[in-house]
Amino acid sequence: MTRPQTTVEKILARASGNASVAPNQIVEVAPDFSYSHDYAVFAIDAFEQMGATAVVAPERIAIGLDHGFPVNNARDANNHARIRAFAKKHKFLEFFEGGTGIAHQVMMEKGLVTPGALVLASDSHTPSGGAVGALAIGTGETELGFMWATGRTWLKVPETIRVILTGALQRGVLAKDVMLSIVGRMGVLGGGYKMLEYQGPAVKTLTVSERFTFCNMSAEIGAKSSIFPCDEVTEAFVQSRARFPYAAVSSDADAVYARELTIDLASIEPMVALPGREDRGVPVGEAEGRRINQVFIGSCTNARTDDLAIAAAILRNRKVHPDVRLLVVPASRQVGLDIALNGDLAILLEAGATLMPSGCAVCAGAHQGVLGDGEVCLSTSNRNMPGRMGNKNAEIMLCSPATAAASAVTGVVTDARKLNT
């Protein structure tokens, strides 16, 4: 008799050619889709060092340059040129030039991440794809190069934590606040190699963008990945853009979970993660009044059209504080176009924001938005460890787009609900 399966176990069973799988089992899988970014150069190194000459299933592979664009040094420019040539030579399905956007965002927009698919990519925030019901897992670049050469890799089947979402978000509380609360509750290692499977009556109230934020930050608790069910919300997003056939997958009613966690959305307040660790989340009131030098509204976590609309609503007819730099980085060129057409871009620029190219450079501290010694940045990103934005002698706090925008106006950490919007 087949063991009752979770969503993740069903996806891994199919991808490995098994009728069923069990937690901690090692399986050899063929991914449905894989992708990489600037670090693909290391995958190319591995591929060539193996003596491989042909990429397996290039029609299921994409690359999107996003970490170091626009390029500011010859080394990265040469690496980009090498990646472009490799993708062209091996006829990858898609190559997204720098400026198209953050790879996780672009792959979703372009319909390359689909429900029920096993998606592997060389970045720790690959789990974002769980927003549409895909099992999306981050891999190393060497492992990716091996997959290019063989079409396969191995995975250990993770245990699954069932997260039941109930209630409704209060006014001014966003998905990012919920995730900062969850990360604080579980700790940065609390999800160690486990899946988070979101269920419960509140799931249907969350947009794909909000689900993206939830899944994106599973890396911040050490989880293997996280996933939402494929429902009407998912279908409305995926149907018109899916590039591959797909089949929704759901857990058996009697599936076995490692444990269960219930989150009442109505109990969540606006949150701020204090400098140093992502699990140092506190209600914004406990951090109010702390001076800031820079506000960053961007990253794969919170820079989509709805995120920037929230920021624009707060910044309308207001100005950025003279002691604050406000950097806005749309998650993709499409998001930039959206806010240009709906008027939000004009509001942000009139308020004093600096618009920057879509990508990861500010978040990763690559070569844009680097902080000075002793400076403090309030960021809508996902990480705030020392040195994350390019300077170990600076500090980063994490927050929602609403808190970021309100604080950019006042010059100190501020609860957006206290501003008249």
Residue at a domain's end among 230, 263, 296: 263
Residue 158 in any domain: the answer is: yes
Total domains in the chain come to 2
Model confidence at 2, pLDDT cuts 50, 70, 90, reads: confident
Q: Residue 31's closest CA among 160, 155, 126, 117?
A: 117
Give per-residue pLDDT as tens, 86-106: 999 999 999 999 999 999 999
Please report the DSSP string for 304-332 in residue order.
Answer: SHHHHHHHHHHHTT----TT-EEEE--SB
Residue 3 lies in a domain: no
Domain limits for position 241: 8-263
310 and 400 belong to one structural domain: yes
122 part of a folded domain: yes
pLDDT beyond 70 at 421: no
CA–CA dist 246, 251 (Å, integer): 16
Round to whole Å and give the CA distance between 16 and 14: 5
Instruction: Give me the chain's average pLDDT, please.
Output: 97
Among residues 263, 291, 317, the one where a domain terminates is 263
Given the DSSP bridges, would you call strands 26-29 and 153-156 parallel, antiparallel or unpaired?
antiparallel
Are 281 and 314 part of one and the same domain?
yes
- For helices 141-150 and 40-49, the axis angle rounded to 10 degrees is 50
| Domain termination residue (choose one: 218, 238, 263) | 263
pLDDT of residue 3: 85
- Binning pLDDT at 50, 70 and 90, where does residue 1 land? low
Full-prediction pTM beyond 0.95? Answer: yes
Q: pLDDT tens digits, residue range 352-382?
A: 999 999 999 999 888 899 999 999 999 999 9
Structure tokens at 296: 């960053």
